[in-house]
């Protein structure tokens, strides 16, 4: 599923509406939701999941796992029940697997299919079909999978899996949790030991969840690098999973509360996995008041409620080493930086040029249109803050171009709340792909 190609763009103006206050709960973590469905579908027995993110990206994963033999049902009260086929039990899908706009679904499912003796064709929407897949094709080809398509490494792509696949030792050439996860998922049905060497740590949901489902996985450190080994074939056992709130979704409300004067907002049940929560650390360095209430551990993942109050932020130079733990949160960090005192410098963000859009250029143009002072560099943005005064907003008749990118649409919606004239966003349809109830939650806080 993806933004309907035949429906018309839905522009919307986001205007200031006074302080934000109240308590909300954001949808379940997207990364954990995808992996719950995939691992549940490969486990023996019945996996039960509550708090699953029911956005289009995750539903694309559910549809693909059903197409390959798993039984996946949503009960009326929102719990999901998955009857798995067992590792090695995936069936040949009868039609192409439609990934919609989901790069995560595509790359992880390619890993799953690679070590099964089945053939699957992956298709996606216009935005996903522009995204490079070479980064997963390379290691999966080393394991014996074959890829073919008419557009180089772009979708549509047909993957011919192989069983038995060959175990490999693979050093990640770039920080990518998706590539790491694809190789580990392929290793589940591969006899022997597969090793992934990670020079820069990335989000580790796959490692935590694979262990939780019973895979023989170990993580060690050698010469400052993470070494992840998985011995296959694995036998996964069904689990009961409570998906924590997505920190990437919470990020928009955290920034909104920090930059809208008088705001005091609590966001319940937010996942605070250290490989994902970098944004909150950076915002605290800038002076943001973000308090962790009732910290706890759920399913191997740290969780807390976040209480966030309006704060005077100060620009900083963001350490590039923290980038992998907040790569999806930079668009909304740029909004916070635009309202801060002084200058914020970001670097090491080349990865943002190959997301749903080129997020560096898109955010530089969007914030400039809304009246912010932004310099675009090759690997980051330099943002000169307003010193706490609101942005002017977009001129009449001009709208921010979102490039069908949900995070740009939501980030600029937040910018509109901290502007004098409001910010016009050209199309809010993409928000549904990752965060279906974003607008209603914003309205419930007074935004």
As given in the structure block, the two tokens for residue 242 are: 């409570």
Q: Residue 91 domain-assigned? A: yes
Q: Tens digits of per-residue pLDDT, 104-129?
A: 999 999 999 999 999 999 999 999 99
Q: Residue 106 domain-assigned? A: yes
340 has pLDDT over 50: yes
**Closest CA relative to residue 36, chosen from 421, 300, 282, 272:** 300
Q: Tens digits of per-residue pLDDT, 230-262?
A: 999 999 999 999 899 999 999 999 999 999 999
Q: Which of 204, 328, 405, 426 is catalytic?
A: 328
437 has pLDDT over 80: yes
Does 309 lie in the same domain as 235? no
Does 34 lie in the same domain as 23? no
In this structure, are residues 253 and 445 in contact, taking their beta carbons and an 8 Å threshold? yes
Does 223 lie in the same domain as 277? no
2 has pLDDT over 70: no
Does 151 lie in the same domain as 265? no
Mean pLDDT (whole number) for 35-57: 95
Q: Residue 261 domain-assigned? A: yes
277, 286, 301, 395 from 313: Cα distances, Å:
18, 5, 29, 26
7 annotated to bind ligand: no
141 annotated to bind ligand: no
Does 219 lie in the same domain as 251? no
Does 435 lie in the same domain as 312? yes
Q: Which residues contact 94 (CB under 8 A, 6 or more apart)?
A: 67
Q: Is 328 tagged catalytic?
A: yes
6 has pLDDT over 70: no
Q: Residue 2 domain-assigned? A: no
Q: Residue 6 domain-assigned? A: no
Q: Which of 80-84, 312-316, 402-406 has the lowest mean pLDDT?
A: 402-406
Does 384 lie in the same domain as 308? yes
Does 228 lie in the same domain as 111? yes
129 annotated to bind ligand: no
Does 261 lie in the same domain as 224? no
Q: Residue 173 domain-assigned? A: yes
Domain with residue 166: its CATH number is 3.65.10.10
d(CA 38, CA 385): 43
User: Within its chain, how far is the Cα of 99 from the centroid?
Assistant: 15
11 CB-side CA count, 13 A: 12
328 annotated to bind ligand: yes
178 annotated to bind ligand: yes
35, 293, 377, 406, 424 from 102: Cα distances, Å:
13, 32, 28, 11, 26
**Closest CA relative to residue 154, chosen from 220, 221, 106, 92:** 106
Query: Of 217, 241, 265, at which residue does a domain stop?
Result: 241
Mean pLDDT (whole number) for 317-340: 94
The total domain count for the chain is: 2
Mean pLDDT (whole number) for 303-309: 97
Does 235 lie in the same domain as 267? no
Query: Of 213, 241, 269, at which residue does a domain stop?
Result: 241
208 annotated to bind ligand: no
Domain that holds residue 195: 30-241
User: Within its chain, how far is the Cα of 332 from the centroid?
Assistant: 14
Does 365 lie in the same domain as 261? yes
Mean pLDDT (whole number) for 399-406: 95
Q: Which residues contact 126 (CB under 8 A, 6 or more apart)?
A: 5, 404
Q: Residue 94 domain-assigned? A: yes
Query: Of 219, 241, 263, at which residue does a domain stop?
Result: 241
Q: Residue 4 domain-assigned? A: no
Q: Tens digits of per-residue pLDDT, 170-192?
A: 999 998 999 999 999 999 999 99
Does 338 lie in the same domain as 265? yes
């Amino acid at each position: 599923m993806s933004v309907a190609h035949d429906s018309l763009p839905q522009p919307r103006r986001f205007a200031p509406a006074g302080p934000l206050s109240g308590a909300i709960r954001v949808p379940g973590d997207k990364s954990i939701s995808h992996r719950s469905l995939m691992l549940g579908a490969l486990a023996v027995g019945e996996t039960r999941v509550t708090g699953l993110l029911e956005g289009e990206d995750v539903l694309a994963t559910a549809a693909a796992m059903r197409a390959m033999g798993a039984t996946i049902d949503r009960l009326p009260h929102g719990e999901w029940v998955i009857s798995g086929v067992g590792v090695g039990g995936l069936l040949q899908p009868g039609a192409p697997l439609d990934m919609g706009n989901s790069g995560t679904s595509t790359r992880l499912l390619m890993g799953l299919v690679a070590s099964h003796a089945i053939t699957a064709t992956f298709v996606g929407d216009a935005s996903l079909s522009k995204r490079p897949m070479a980064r997963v094709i390379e290691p999966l080809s080393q394991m014996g999978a074959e890829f073919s398509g008419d557009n180089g490494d772009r979708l549509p792509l047909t993957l011919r899996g192989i069983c038995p696949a060959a175990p490999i030792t693979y050093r990640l050439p770039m920080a990518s949790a998706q590539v790491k996860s694809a190789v580990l998922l392929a290793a589940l049905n591969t006899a022997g030991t597969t090793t992934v060497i990670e020079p820069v740590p990335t989000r580790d949901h796959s490692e935590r969840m694979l262990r939780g489902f019973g895979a023989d996985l170990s993580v060690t450190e050698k010469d400052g690098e993470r070494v992840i080994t998985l011995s296959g074939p694995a036998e996964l056992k069904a689990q009961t999973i409570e998906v924590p709130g997505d920190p990437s979704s919470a990020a928009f409300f955290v920034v909104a509360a920090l930059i809208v004067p008088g705001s005091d907002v609590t966001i319940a049940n937010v996942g605070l996995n250290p490989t994902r929560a970098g944004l909150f650390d950076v915002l605290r360095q800038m002076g943001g008041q973000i308090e962790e209430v009732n910290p706890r551990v759920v399913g191997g993942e740290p969780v807390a409620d976040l209480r966030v109050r309006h704060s005077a932020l100060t620009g900083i130079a963001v350490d590039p080493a923290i980038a992998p733990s907040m790569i999806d949160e930079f668009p909304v960090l740029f909004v916070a930086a635009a309202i801060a005192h002084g200058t914020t410098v970001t670097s090491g963000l080349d990865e943002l040029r190959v997301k749903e859009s080129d997020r560096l250029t898109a955010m530089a143009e969007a914030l400039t249109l809304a009246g912010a002072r932004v310099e675009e560099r090759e690997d980051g943005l330099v943002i000169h803050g307003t010193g706490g005064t609101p942005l002017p907003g977009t001129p009449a008749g001009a709208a921010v171009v979102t490039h069908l990118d949900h995070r740009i649409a939501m980030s600029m919606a937040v910018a509109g709340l901290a502007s004098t004239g409001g910010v016009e966003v050209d199309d809010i349809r993409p928000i549904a792909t990752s965060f279906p109830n974003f607008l209603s939650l914003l309205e419930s806080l007074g935004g």
